[in-house]
Chains A and B, each alone.
Chain A
């Protein structure tokens, strides 16, 4: 199976191509540059480099979020469009699950997160079990203070993975038994995304596949709140 993996859900932009599980190529940047301008050229360039055309692909895998709304829309739109028009399979994978793969063989809890502004984080909790990194609880949007309190209560060895570790350094250090990912461990790798995508079921309906925003649009949330007041 030839897999194209796309991740533009956060600051990191990643593209990978695998064939029969073998990594043919991977491309990654971790910089504040425009994903909309760079993602499609990166995909075309990498495919060209590994000698595959769009028609040679069997499956498109996309990091579905959580992450930046705009970034998610760029990656998901391209992935949907390619899968639909080339009649290929589409798989969505949690962006946090991709990062969690970097802690394979770690025996405690794996805690990847992305900064979500206003004191919030998109956070997940994973464990390495029976040769796989599996989710211990659903990804969520949470106040980092509340998240930290919850993790303290676990009282187990824990590995934080995040491109935004430094921002929350002081708070994270209050968690006993916590250790921190090295810099390359904190960024998602698209080849891991490709591997995860190869294991998962394709989406049944490409048309209605949407990013995992994990948060309503603000106007939508306010509107719902007003309805409930009535």
Chain B
């Protein structure tokens, strides 16, 4: 690693991506890291809804049930054969260990069966590279990765180079969405439900925004989450009817404001040519709107992937894996899932 990348334009790079870090079983075929030939996702949302959240053991079992199916679908839809693949890219972590193991072992079996190189991928870099399907990345850049598992600001000076400059000290933003939604009695997953409800309400309740120390690029959402839950409980205890729509709107405004201000603070500190937003919460309409407006004011080119690429998928893993492959990153058959894999060790 570290040597300059040889971007051989005469040859296409064809990668099969596999992703099973949480509750989506996914496989995709991507050409040159930029073109999706197939993107198969078996979502488990309906399965976990009755539990109010992702249950790791249930998720792991469903991955085993779906893994060959999504791979077959991706290969069929792409129209390519195994011999056309340059590598198999798989999410090594972070994520649920039992879930990661299914994808990792599936990828290893495929790599062995066909004698194809294996490339490990950090899940977050996948979310970042989902943007490359929309717009070529321009370096240096900052990416805000915000989902049920992550809230991170990542600085990239080149392809495959990642520096975390801000992270959450407690809950991920998406986690706060899910918990607030649950307290409001909304179905899982909570993010889209809050977004929908917020459109009918007014941001009339003043919930806290955690800025942490002066100039910090870190996040904290547990205080906000508790404040919202306390508000709901207090109102109910006093026998007062709460407006769920107003709570949703007020909560969402608070999250969006923190995400946007911190991201802009980071953007001001680094001389960047592009700002990326990625991860499940980037599907949130308020976050998209506020981020777009703020970036426009400051004249920073902003890229947000389309909604279907915001949630977990394997195309993004193949896209990041393409960069890893070209940089010479390889895993052997001893590759294991790493639930706490750090982006900087990657």
- Tell me which residues from 102 to 138 in chain B have a Cβ below 8 Å from any Cβ of chain A: 102, 104-106, 108-110, 112-114
Most buried by A among B50, B72, B102: B102
Sample of 12 more A-B contacts, CB < 8 Å, known A36-B337, A41-B333: A44-B333, A74-B105, A77-B67, A77-B105, A80-B67, A85-B109, A85-B110, A85-B113, A207-B72, A208-B65, A213-B61, A217-B55
Contact A86 B113 (CB under 8 A): yes
Q: A41 to chain B: closest CB distance in Å? A: 5
Contact B72 A40 (CB under 8 A): no
Contact of B98 among A39, A73, A219 (CB under 8 A): A73
Contact B68 A40 (CB under 8 A): no
A76 at the interface (CB under 8 A from B): yes
Q: How far, in angstroms, from A76 to B57 measured CA to CA in the complex?
A: 15
Residue in chain A with minimal CB distance to B97: A70
- Tell me which residues from 267 to 314 in chain B have a Cβ below 8 Å from any Cβ of chain A: none
Neighbouring B residues of A208 by C-beta, 8 Å: 65
Residue in chain B with minimal CB distance to A226: B50
A180 at the interface (CB under 8 A from B): no
Q: How far, in angstroms, from A134 to B113 measured CA to CA in the complex?
A: 34
Q: How far, in angstroms, from A210 to B55 measured CA to CA in the complex?
A: 18
Q: How far, in angstroms, from A84 to B104 measured CA to CA in the complex?
A: 16
Task: List the interface of chain A (C-beta within 8 A of B).
Answer: 34, 36-41, 43-44, 54, 69-70, 73-74, 76-78, 80-82, 84-86, 206-208, 210-211, 213, 217-220, 223
Contact B109 A81 (CB under 8 A): yes
Q: How far, in angstroms, from A40 to B107 measured CA to CA in the complex?
A: 10
Q: How far, in angstroms, from A80 to B103 measured CA to CA in the complex?
A: 12
Q: How far, in angstroms, from A36 to B336 measured CA to CA in the complex?
A: 6
Contact of A73 among B102, B112, B333 (CB under 8 A): B102
Contact A217 B57 (CB under 8 A): yes
B205 at the interface (CB under 8 A from A): no
B342 at the interface (CB under 8 A from A): no
Neighbouring B residues of A78 by C-beta, 8 Å: 105-106, 108-109
Residue in chain A with minimal CB distance to B55: A219
B265 at the interface (CB under 8 A from A): no
> Dominant SS at the A interface?
helix
B101 at the interface (CB under 8 A from A): yes
Q: How far, in angstroms, from A36 to B332 measured CA to CA in the complex?
A: 12
Contact of A210 among B65, B72, B110, B113 (CB under 8 A): B65
Contacts A34-B336, A85-B82, A86-B113; A39 near B61 (Cβ below 8 A): no
Return the CB mask of B36-66 against A: 1 if under 8 Å, else 0: 0000000000000011000101101101110
Contact B67 A81 (CB under 8 A): yes
Q: B47 to chain A: closest CB distance in Å? A: 10
- Tell me which residues from 62 to 84 in chain B have a Cβ below 8 Å from any Cβ of chain A: 63-65, 67-69, 71-72, 82
Q: A42 to chain B: closest CB distance in Å? A: 9
Contact B109 A210 (CB under 8 A): no
Number of residue pairs spanning A and B whose beta carbons lie under 8 angstroms apart: 103
Contact B82 A223 (CB under 8 A): no
Neighbouring B residues of A74 by C-beta, 8 Å: 101, 105
Q: B170 to chain A: closest CB distance in Å? A: 24
Neighbouring B residues of A219 by C-beta, 8 Å: 51, 55, 57-58
Contact A39 B336 (CB under 8 A): no
B334 at the interface (CB under 8 A from A): yes
Most buried by B among A40, A219, A220: A40
Most buried by A among B51, B82, B108, B336: B108
Contact B64 A207 (CB under 8 A): no
Residue in chain B with minimal CB distance to A206: B68
Residue in chain B with minimal CB distance to A78: B109
Neighbouring B residues of A39 by C-beta, 8 Å: 105
Contact A40 B101 (CB under 8 A): no
Contact A69 B333 (CB under 8 A): no
Q: B99 to chain A: closest CB distance in Å? A: 9
Contact B113 A82 (CB under 8 A): yes
Contact of A217 among B61, B67, B72, B109 (CB under 8 A): B61
Q: B116 to chain A: closest CB distance in Å? A: 11
Q: How far, in angstroms, from A94 to B82 measured CA to CA in the complex?
A: 32
Contact B113 A81 (CB under 8 A): yes
Neighbouring A residues of B113 by C-beta, 8 Å: 54, 81-82, 85-86
Q: B307 to chain A: closest CB distance in Å? A: 29
Q: How far, in angstroms, from A220 to B71 measured CA to CA in the complex?
A: 27
Neighbouring B residues of A213 by C-beta, 8 Å: 61
Q: How far, in angstroms, from A219 to B82 measured CA to CA in the complex?
A: 38
Residue in chain A with minimal CB distance to B50: A223
Q: B139 to chain A: closest CB distance in Å? A: 35
Neighbouring B residues of A38 by C-beta, 8 Å: 334
Contact B98 A70 (CB under 8 A): yes
Q: How far, in angstroms, from A85 to B68 measured CA to CA in the complex?
A: 8
Neighbouring B residues of A85 by C-beta, 8 Å: 68, 71, 82, 109-110, 113-114
Contact B109 A76 (CB under 8 A): no
